[in-house]
Amino acid sequence: MDSKRRPQLNKPLDDNRNIRLYAALPGIARRPESGHGPHGGSETSHSVLILPSEIVSEIFIHTLPIHPHPPMRGKNCALVSLTQICRKWREIALATPRLWRAILLSYNTGRPLKRQISNIKLWVERARSCPLSIFFSGGLNATHLLASITPQRSRWERLDLDISPHDLAAIKGDMPLLRHLRLTLEDGFRRDEVSEGDRETFSAAVAPLLRSVELNHHAATRLLLPWAQITSLKVTLEHVQECVTILGQASESLVHCDLCIRRLDRRVDDSADYTGSVSISLPRLESLVLSRHASCDRTPLLKLFDAPGLRRLEVSEAALGLMALHFLTTFLLSRYERRLEEVSVCGILCPASKEVYRKALSSCAENVLLPYGRL
């Protein structure tokens, strides 16, 4: 090749490309010794280009959002920017499968569907054999976009989906690597219309590695999960009875639980004093979050849980019922022989009560947090 036409990958960048390099690697190009900006720091910026490819690849990985969070799409996508600095960087990025393992699916009305599907397949190819994290926000043509990724079901490690109940069939099948599932189902059906036969099953055989689950209420009532293997659960439910049913199945495995009960069914929970007559044993539970619960005054939701290993408690004042502070301190002192590592109370209605809470709870926990606002 003629030397005049050979690409000069290590030649000094012009001002425009130097600025792009400076923006792409803020942690390197903005060292104090590199000058006062993209024009004054060219030596450090250019030295990045002569680093071994393996080191540049690791720099790229640490430049992107921490996995499994996906990079932004479109012109602001950091990963796309890295491929546009120079030919060498593009080659390194395309040869680094770990850069492409988080995939954001989002229908773009301004781009033809076929082109979007083609881009998804290209992204998957670049990830090669890496486990995949899939993020999908639903919308138009959800079924077609999901269909473009389902052939790689055996590589799914994380699913983060916001879809309609009708799209559940698209993700049905074996997922041997799946570890985390976050599923938000749109309100596309009535709860009393869902029978056992209508529910989708994620059995231990289908997802043997599944340990972490986040569900809204519609997803919780639509799925049959291997609760006995779940260690981390975040779920929104309608009634206490649903809570008892689910946590009872996960009682031996659950370590972290974030629970929101939206309302009480007075026919079941209040008249029968439901929360006062039932206890859920959670021997491995270390962290418990109770939020936005319209509690029955006589029987606060916290009394449901028998968790001798609890270390961290985060609760909204509304979940404690009347005499919230008295109940909480009495409950913690009587239930736990040692102090908890951390107790956090959110949504305190009277700001002046915060200091009272802090003083009273200091005998129950090593750290007391009283953040502003509701959970």
Proportion of the chain above pLDDT 70, given as a percent = 72
* Position 114 in a domain: no
User: SS3 for 95?
Assistant: coil
Percent of the chain with pLDDT strictly greater than 90: 30
Q: Per the domain annotation, does 211 fall within a domain? A: no
CB 123 within 8 A of CB 103: yes
Q: Can you say how many angstroms the Cα of residue 92 is from the centroid of all Cα atoms in its chain?
A: 29
Contact 67, 101 (CB under 8 A): yes
Query: Considering only 24-28, 56-60, 150-154, 338-342, which range has the smallest mean pLDDT?
Result: 24-28
> Is the predicted pLDDT of residue 176 greater than 70, yes or no?
yes
The chain-wide mean pLDDT, for the chain, equals 77
pLDDT of 130 reads: 94
Query: Mean pLDDT, to the nearest integer, of 137-142?
Result: 70
Position 47 pLDDT exceeds 80: no
pLDDT band at 9 (very low <50, low <70, confident <90, very high): very low
At 186 the pLDDT is 83
374 within some domain = yes
User: Could you tell me the pLDDT band of residue 201, with boundaries at 50, 70 and 90?
Assistant: confident
Question: pLDDT grade, residue 285 (50/70/90)?
Answer: very high
Q: Is 122 inside any structural domain?
A: no
pLDDT value at position 5? 41
Q: What is the mean pLDDT of residues 63-91?
A: 75
Checking if the pLDDT of 365 tops 70, the result is yes
Instruction: Give 215: exposed, middle or buried? Use CB within 10 Å, 0-12, 13-18, 19+.
Output: buried
- pLDDT of residue 183 exceeding 60: yes
CA distance 375 to 370: 11
The whole-angstrom separation of Cα 186 and Cα 166 is 10
Higher pLDDT, 175 or 112: 175
Residue 121 lies in a domain: no
Across 201-229, average pLDDT? 91
**Within a domain: residue 313?**
yes
Say if 264 falls within a structural domain.
yes
Total structural domains within the chain: 1
Buried/exposed 265-280: b ≥16 CB within 10 Å, e otherwise: eeeebbeeebbeebeb
Q: What's the whole-number mean pLDDT along residues 70-79? A: 65
Structure-model confidence comparison of residues 45 and 239, the more confident one: 239
In order, the DSSP letters of 115-167 are HHHHHHHHHHHHHTTS-EEEEE---TTHHHHHHTTGGGGGGEEEEEEEE-GGG
Range with lowest mean pLDDT among 15-19, 135-139, 187-191: 15-19
Does 372 reside within a domain?
Answer: yes
Taking CA atoms, 236 is separated from 200, 218, 221, in Å, by 18, 9, 10
Select the more confidently predicted residue: 111 or 151. Answer: 151
Range of the domain at 307: 247-375
pLDDT number for residue 24 = 52
Q: Would you state the structure tokens that stand for residue 53, as one six-digit string? A: 């490819």
Strand (E) positions, the chain? 102-105, 132-136, 156-163, 180-185, 200-201, 212-215, 223-224, 232-237, 256-261, 280-281, 287-291, 305-306, 312-316, 340-346, 365-369
SS3 call for 213: strand
In this predicted model, what pLDDT tens digit does every residue of 235-278 receive, in sequence order?
Answer: 998 888 888 899 999 999 999 999 988 765 444 444 345 555 67
Q: What is the pTM of this model?
A: 0.79
**Residue type present at position 133:** S
Taking the C-alpha atoms of residue 365 and residue 312, their distance in angstroms, rounded to an integer, is 9
